[in-house]
Amino acid sequence: MLEALLPWQEVMLVNLLKAHESRPMHAQLWVTPVAYGASRLAQRWLLARMCTAASALRPCGLCDDCRWVLAQTHPDVFWLAPLEAQGQIRIDAVRELRSFVDRTSARHGWRAVIVEQAHRLNEHAANALLKSLEEPGSQTLFVLLTDRLVDIMPTIRSRCGIWHLPAPDRVDALRWLRGRVDCSEQQLNQAMAYARSMPEQAELVLVKNWLPMFEGLWSGIRQLTQKRTHASIVVSGCKEIWQERLLTDALMQWVEDLIRTHSVLDSPEPESFLHHPELYRDYTELVVRQPRAVERIWEIWHRLVRVRDELDGNIQPALCYERILTDFTALF
């Protein structure tokens, strides 16, 4: 099914198409925040170039090219993505890509390769892809998607035109969200905070009714600091949000708020500097109870950064979160 693009993606698509017209590049690397919807944008970029029945920005969704692109079965398009949710892209998949690149086009005379989560290419796969980027054959376009530019091999980076696709403006995002979900302004703002201002993820939080799960997390942390519960219980109570990669962000925000409260105790306007001002009383209580803990709290923050970076690998997230929460709340 042809889904509508989000307003800010539509603007981006126009820019990408114009740029390609004026200065064609055989490889592009799109750097987007998680939850930007980059693969949907890539799909629309393909449709804009392939649909023969309608205009570039309004593909018909019904012709053969459109239907094949939407079903990811187009003979001139190769989608490369990790097989498992948290796995790597391995060399076998890139070998298939090589034989795709060596074939001739079935339809329009050019072919496209989309690599989702390109930072998950393992070393061998990345080197094999590099070969294809160096000898792309005639009329093959590569689009690599990532949210982690630092993890893309410099040799691959140097062969691509790099595009940074920013998170949408907050006012636009809130307007879009208001039209989609029926809830209070406070709920909208909370969901946006948990989703790091990515509106589609904020929508997911609201539609799935996960706000109470975050509240459960905060009260779980409160009880942990009072030694009234166990970290495993708190973590298992928010399984859906750690599976959606929202838990690390939430915990990082909590820790950041606590560190900020350390430096600005007794503020009349906690909302001006906190992710979650509604928790200001909790933060203050902990800061007063353990005023010297700030360096240890920083250590926790760095551990969370590592967990976030390793979520793509083979770590056991639940266990990691449990350990971090246990160590963290033991500080108080």
Interface residues with Zn ion (CB under 5 A)? 51, 53, 59-60, 63, 66
Do residues 29 and 157 make contact, with C-beta atoms less than 8 angstroms apart?
Answer: yes
What's the DSSP call for residue 166? P
Nearer to Zn ion (CB atom), residue 74 or residue 120: 74
Nearer to Zn ion (CB atom), residue 64 or residue 278: 64
Nearer to Zn ion (CB atom), residue 55 or residue 99: 55
Beta bridge partners of residue 163, listed in sequence order: 30
Do residues 156 and 129 make contact, with C-beta atoms less than 8 angstroms apart?
Answer: yes
Shortest spacing between CB 169 and Zn ion, in angstroms: 31
Shortest spacing between CB 282 and Zn ion, in angstroms: 54
Nearer to Zn ion (CB atom), residue 114 or residue 247: 114
Shortest spacing between CB 283 and Zn ion, in angstroms: 54
Nearer to Zn ion (CB atom), residue 71 or residue 150: 71
Residue 215's SS3 state is helix
Per DSSP (E only), the strands in the chain are 27-31, 77-80, 111-115, 140-146, 161-164
Residue 330's SS3 state is coil
Shortest spacing between CB 72 and Zn ion, in angstroms: 15
Nearer to Zn ion (CB atom), residue 20 or residue 49: 49
> What is the identity of the amino acid at 102?
D
Residue with tokens 């779980």: 220
Q: How many CB atoms lie within 10 A of CB 100?
A: 18
Residue 30's SS3 state is strand
* Tokens standing for residue 303: 């551990």
Dihedral in degrees, nearest 10, Cα atoms 301, 305, 306, 309: 170
Shortest spacing between CB 58 and Zn ion, in angstroms: 10
Shortest spacing between CB 3 and Zn ion, in angstroms: 14
